[in-house]
Amino acid sequence: MLIRTIVNAGLRRTLKPLWNDIPSVARMRAAYHRIDRLGTLGRRPVRVDVADVGGVAVEWIGRPAAAGEGVILYLHGGGFAVRAAAADRRYCAGLARRTGCPVVQVPYRLAPEFPFPAGLDDCCAVYAGLLAAGIPAHKIVVIGHSAGANLALVLLMRARDNGWPQPAGCILLSAPVDLTAGSPSATANAARDSMQSPNIWPWVRMTYLGGVAPDHPDVSPLFGDWAGLAPLHFHVSDTEIILDDSRRAAERARRAGNRVTLTVWHDVPHSFYYMNALREAWRCRAEVVAFIGAALRRG
């Protein structure tokens, strides 16, 4: 509990003040780059193999030769406009070690230089490329972190609509599914969230949407068709402003007849699953690894 308190306090002093107003993209990228660099101190770089999948240069982490056992397709977070590349790679390397499956990480195009639907199109192209390369859908598990979880859900909906098979499962880590900010926690948790504030919503709409209505199901999958999706596994903190996004999404998915699990963690920050100092991060990783194993065995 003490470590959790220290981590939350540190984030309140460093990252949350960025959201006192609506920051520029350059300011957010600079802040995340500094934090990402600090996280690399004293650590060996993660080996990354770059390859073309579906016309997108993706990062393979782990042993590509093990792809026959299963592949993890990872969509990173960052508000559709920022990327903490080193932290993403460390998390993916841990997944590859614990599951024995290679991770394909998609460095999708970022807004505002490439607004919707560029990043989503990249993610869909990679999924289609894995299928075209002979990797069966039941050997693929999709993971999305924050903005990447939004993209992961829309990817599943697009795959269904395109007649592509669903993956073995999909893991949603702190998924923002309603860019209208219509979830009660979007305001109710404004003070409790140690990392983000409600100012993130106009920022995302300004940088990412490119004129698309925020309730369009391709940017707010909460309002999409939830029928016929892969098994879904949600994780979120009870202090996040997007807490109720995960709750509402899980309920929509259940009502549509999908297999759904939801874990709500107590008083941990957004992206807590990246933070080695938190025991909740290790417990969350264990649940994620167990879900991946079960999903691939079902396939």
- Segment 134-152 mean pLDDT: 98
235 is a catalytic site residue: no
Kindly report, residue by residue over 238-263, the tens digit of the pLDDT: 999 999 999 999 999 999 999 999 99
Sheet bearing 71-75, strands edge to edge: 49-53, 56-61, 103-106, 71-75, 140-145, 169-173, 232-237, 260-265
- Per-residue pLDDT, 65: 64
- Per-residue pLDDT, 43: 75
Of 174, 270, 271, 280, catalytic: 270
Band of residue 37 on the pLDDT scale cut at 50, 70, 90: confident
* Burial grade of 94 (CB within 10 A; 0-12, 13-18, 19 or more): buried
Of 59, 146, 237, 246, catalytic: 146
Residue 101: pLDDT over 80: yes
Of 194, 237, 240, 280, catalytic: 240
- Per-residue pLDDT, 69: 86
Q: What fold is seen in the domain 2-298?
A: Rossmann fold (3.40.50)
Residue 294: pLDDT over 90: yes
- Segment 132-152 mean pLDDT: 98
- Per-residue pLDDT, 42: 62
Kindly report, residue by residue over 164-180, the tens digit of the pLDDT: 999 999 999 999 999 99
Residue 206: pLDDT over 80: yes
Residue 267: pLDDT over 80: yes
Residue 277: pLDDT over 90: yes
Q: Which residue has the tokens 């699953």?
A: 273
d(CA 277, CA 7): 8
Kindly report, residue by residue over 15-27, the tens digit of the pLDDT: 899 998 889 999 9
Helices (H), 100-242: 118-132, 147-161, 185-188, 200-208
Residue 67: pLDDT over 70: no
216 is a catalytic site residue: no
Element (H, E) at 50: strand 49-53
Residue type present at position 6: I
